[in-house]
Chain A
Amino acid sequence: MTKLGMVIDLSRCVGCNTCAVACKEENDEPLGIWWNRVLTVGGGDYIDVPEGEYPDVGMHYLPLACQHCENAPCVKVCPVSATYKRTEDGVVLVDFNRCIGCRYCMAACPYGVRNFNWGEPVYSPGVDFPVGHQGDHYDKYNPDRLVYMPERPKGVVEKCTFCVQRIDNDEIPFCVETCPEGARIFGDLDDPSSEVSQVIMNGNAEQLLPELGTDPQVFYVPPYQKKDIIPPYANQSSLAPEQDIIAQAEQNGYVPGFENAVTSKTQATVSKKEDGE
């Protein structure tokens, strides 16, 4: 069985909001809708504000979207099964054609990651051109289920789909692809050798609100790590750390987008090294 999941390394996340904006763009989210948000776990009501008093301050970011729970309250409460969990890969989806807009799922979701279309979708003034994925997408495994549409109907609930229009075409979610810090890894949780499983194991990754028993398929590597988890390069060869990262990454067939995280200088070093070999 495949169980698609994600791990987010909070020790890598710098709160740049690229994932949130990339998500909004790829999924053509109207104003007021954010499937993916970057929360500041700090000291106040405003983003980027640490807790504590200088110099004893602390803060980290918590990127938050649908957790694709194994034991999903939204799926259990939906009276018409418009929200359902795909048996093939465990992705939780909403059928735009079936949702009656009762919003029971929003009341039932402990993570607050569902958005409702209270009215006709509104876009930023000036955005009068197509943005993001165009064309409706039907679930690959359940072709009667309309799980993505750029033109939002009013009165239905929507949320993160792990970019179903992309994963159904063997691409990774857009937030994973665009994360400049390589903090997100996506893959099969049921395969213990998959990178996502490895990082979850090595990084002591945790689920959000685990005490509720929802068993999310999104994991978080804790923010304050003594060592880097993706990829582990402590006690390694004589290579400089950056080079070591690249070497490790190549060995692991590392996530796309990762190369963006290192400087062009190190990239040049790597290409030189490759040329030499």
Chain B
Amino acid sequence: MKMENSLTGKINSRVYYAMVAVLSAIVLVGAVAWAIEIEYGLIVTNMRDVVSWGLYISTFAWFVGVSAGGLILSSSAAIFKIGAWKPLSKMASFVSAVVIAAAALIIMPDLGRPDRVLNLIIYAHFFSPLIWDFSIIATYFIISVVELWLLISSERFKNAGNESASRNRERYAVGLAFIALPVAIFTHSVTAWIFGLQISRPWWNTALLAPAFVASALVSGLALVLLVILVNGKLNLIRVSIDDRTKAQFSKLLMVFILVDLYLLFSEYLTISWPGEPGELAGLYTMFFGPYWYIGWGQWMLALLAVALLARPSWRTSNRVIGTASVLALVEVFFYRLNLIIPALANPLIEYPPGTAIGGGISSSYALAGYSFQIIGQYFPSAIEWAITAGFVAGVALVILLGLRHLPLGTQNE
């Protein structure tokens, strides 16, 4: 059975344009917030010297993970010759390209000097994991785009009756998939290593971080692809055929990915807590009992809820269940990124009064009231940070929608 709405029906233009309008408005608000931030500096965020990375970097790490699904799906389809996934390849590669571009771009509002971003190329310091990450993200983006182009042009040739050229392009696409898969794995690993190679914060320095990032990337990546399939189904933008068997397969995969991710996390938390080393425990304690407890527990609640929904075989083909589980999985992985970055940064290794100076640019009344230091970092994103981040997320959704509408991402012949 095809997804009910993947037939050549008319597009649901009322909902489509409403979504485009709402998303554009959010992007606009984000752009205004960004302009304010550029004018006044990062002082308009609530990051300070103790928690010096916040919502932007968490979202960056989240985007990198979310971009996984597309490329892994399309390259797995090619490498392992999974026929049922092939019709999704173009759409999946497109989603990957959009999300990884957003990941690279959301670094910009986090930079104190975005005007100097080209220094990353001019003065690239190849020992820095950040340079590795930019390099591999750029590679990943290029591969996604080239893969997409190969798949589209292969189909074009096929439609034009040029079978040999079509097969040729497809062969290139399969060849590229062999590069794309390891590149994807490394993209997530390198993003983990940005944190995992550091000895400066509790429980970052663990070899498990890269595998955990790959696992959570698979969770969030697959979830986004599923969500895009469902939204496309509602809006009827492109023809994507997906049968119930494939749907159930994806649901089961999503469940397994979540369980693997939770297993890795559990192993990590046990390893941190059992020896009872105070510095390591502090980070964990902040995560579950500190000011961010709802994120700490929330991740587990959302993940387990998604697993519960997907555990029942008869529910695995239900659009409603898949949609809900996908949203839960996406938020769960977002919480994971927040959990990794904020409680760890909030707990510096040296915690003696008066603490760490909070940084320059704070107002004199604030400083003179005695708030120049923090022992434990305090952080909750400011309205500007929320607006810019929401703008990026909306931007991703908007570009995906526009792409589905205007790019040849579906299958033309059935």
Q: Which residues of B contact A135 (CB under 8 A)?
A: none
Q: Which residues of B contact A103 (CB under 8 A)?
A: 52-53, 110, 112
- Tell whether, in the assembled complex, residue A81 and residue B123 are in contact, meaning their CB atoms are under 8 Å apart: yes
CA distance A117 to B200 in the complex (A): 21
Q: Which residues of B contact A212 (CB under 8 A)?
A: 199
Minimum distance in angstroms from B67 CB to a CB of chain A: 20
Q: Which residues of B contact A30 (CB under 8 A)?
A: 360-361
- Tell whether, in the assembled complex, residue A41 and residue B361 are in contact, meaning their CB atoms are under 8 Å apart: no
- A115 in the interface, Cβ–Cβ < 8 Å? yes
Q: Which residues of B contact A121 (CB under 8 A)?
A: 360-361
- Tell whether, in the assembled complex, residue A124 and residue B368 are in contact, meaning their CB atoms are under 8 Å apart: yes
Minimum distance in angstroms from A125 CB to a CB of chain B: 5
CA distance A98 to B121 in the complex (A): 12
Q: Which of B197-235 contact A (CB under 8 A)?
A: 198-201
Minimum distance in angstroms from A142 CB to a CB of chain B: 13
Minimum distance in angstroms from A151 CB to a CB of chain B: 12
- B413 in the interface, Cβ–Cβ < 8 Å? no
Interface-facing stretch out of A104-112, A163-171, A192-200, A261-269: A104-112
- Tell whether, in the assembled complex, residue A100 and residue B200 are in contact, meaning their CB atoms are under 8 Å apart: no
Q: Which of A111-169 contact B (CB under 8 A)?
A: 111-112, 114-125, 152-158
- Tell whether, in the assembled complex, residue B361 and residue A117 are in contact, meaning their CB atoms are under 8 Å apart: yes
Contact of A101 among B111, B122, B194, B356 (CB under 8 A): B111
- Tell whether, in the assembled complex, residue A34 and residue B357 are in contact, meaning their CB atoms are under 8 Å apart: yes
Q: Which residues of A contact B40 (CB under 8 A)?
A: 119
For A22-38 the 0/1 string (1 means CB < 8 A from B) is: 00000001111110010
Contact of B112 among A32, A80, A110, A155 (CB under 8 A): A155
- Tell whether, in the assembled complex, residue A118 and residue B353 are in contact, meaning their CB atoms are under 8 Å apart: no
- Tell whether, in the assembled complex, residue A116 and residue B52 are in contact, meaning their CB atoms are under 8 Å apart: yes
Interface core residue of A79, A82, A110 (most chain B CB under 10 Å): A79
Contact of B124 among A73, A79, A116, A123 (CB under 8 A): A79
Chain A interface mostly = loop
Q: Which residues of A contact B201 (CB under 8 A)?
A: 107
A-B contact count (CB 8 A): 206
Q: Which of B121-137 contact A (CB under 8 A)?
A: 122-125, 127-131, 134
Interface-facing stretch out of A4-12, A42-50, A247-255: A42-50
CA distance A115 to B375 in the complex (A): 14
- A245 in the interface, Cβ–Cβ < 8 Å? no
- A209 in the interface, Cβ–Cβ < 8 Å? yes
- A64 in the interface, Cβ–Cβ < 8 Å? yes
For B118, the closest partner residue in chain A by CB is: A100
- A92 in the interface, Cβ–Cβ < 8 Å? no
- A21 in the interface, Cβ–Cβ < 8 Å? no
- A39 in the interface, Cβ–Cβ < 8 Å? yes
Q: Which of B32-55 contact A (CB under 8 A)?
A: 40-45, 47-50, 52-53
- A76 in the interface, Cβ–Cβ < 8 Å? yes
Interface residues of A toward B: which range?
Answer: 35 or more
- B352 in the interface, Cβ–Cβ < 8 Å? yes
Minimum distance in angstroms from B369 CB to a CB of chain A: 11
- Tell whether, in the assembled complex, residue A45 and residue B375 are in contact, meaning their CB atoms are under 8 Å apart: yes
Q: Which residues of A contact B363 (CB under 8 A)?
A: 31, 122
Q: Which residues of A contact B7 (CB under 8 A)?
A: none
Q: Which residues of A contact B199 (CB under 8 A)?
A: 73, 110, 212-214
CA distance A80 to B113 in the complex (A): 12
- A13 in the interface, Cβ–Cβ < 8 Å? no
Q: Which of B91-125 contact A (CB under 8 A)?
A: 107, 110-114, 116-117, 119-120, 122-125
- B348 in the interface, Cβ–Cβ < 8 Å? yes
Q: Which residues of B contact A117 (CB under 8 A)?
A: 41, 112, 359-361
Q: Which residues of B contact A99 (CB under 8 A)?
A: 112-113, 116
For B205, the closest partner residue in chain A by CB is: A212
Q: Which residues of B contact A41 (CB under 8 A)?
A: 352
- B350 in the interface, Cβ–Cβ < 8 Å? yes
Q: Which of B342-357 contact A (CB under 8 A)?
A: 345, 348-350, 352-354, 356-357
CA distance A93 to B356 in the complex (A): 20
For B38, the closest partner residue in chain A by CB is: A155
Contact A73 to B198, CB < 8 A, known contacts A32-B372, A34-B372: yes
CA distance A158 to B119 in the complex (A): 18
- Tell whether, in the assembled complex, residue A106 and residue B49 are in contact, meaning their CB atoms are under 8 Å apart: yes
Q: Which residues of A contact B44 (CB under 8 A)?
A: 119
- B402 in the interface, Cβ–Cβ < 8 Å? no
For A74, the closest partner residue in chain B by CB is: B200
- Tell whether, in the assembled complex, residue B350 and residue A116 are in contact, meaning their CB atoms are under 8 Å apart: no
CA distance A31 to B116 in the complex (A): 25
- Tell whether, in the assembled complex, residue A155 and residue B111 are in contact, meaning their CB atoms are under 8 Å apart: yes
- A270 in the interface, Cβ–Cβ < 8 Å? no
Q: Which residues of B contact A112 (CB under 8 A)?
A: 49-50, 348-350, 356
- B358 in the interface, Cβ–Cβ < 8 Å? yes
Contact A62 to B352, CB < 8 A, known contacts A102-B110, A116-B52, A117-B112: yes
Contact A154 to B112, CB < 8 A, known contacts A31-B367, A32-B362: yes
Q: Which residues of A contact B375 (CB under 8 A)?
A: 45
- A183 in the interface, Cβ–Cβ < 8 Å? no
Q: Which residues of A contact B43 (CB under 8 A)?
A: 118-119, 154
Q: Which residues of A contact B45 (CB under 8 A)?
A: 118
- Tell whether, in the assembled complex, residue A104 and residue B364 are in contact, meaning their CB atoms are under 8 Å apart: no
- A91 in the interface, Cβ–Cβ < 8 Å? no
For A73, the closest partner residue in chain B by CB is: B200
CA distance A122 to B41 in the complex (A): 13
Q: Which residues of A contact B357 (CB under 8 A)?
A: 32-34, 37, 115
Q: List 5 A-B contacts (CB under 8 A).
A: A30-B360, A34-B373, A112-B50, A118-B112, A124-B368
Other CB < 8 Å A-B pairs besides A79-B131, A98-B116, A117-B112, 17 of them? A30-B360, A31-B360, A37-B357, A41-B352, A46-B354, A73-B199, A73-B200, A80-B116, A80-B120, A98-B119, A102-B112, A104-B194, A112-B49, A116-B359, A122-B364, A123-B364, A154-B41
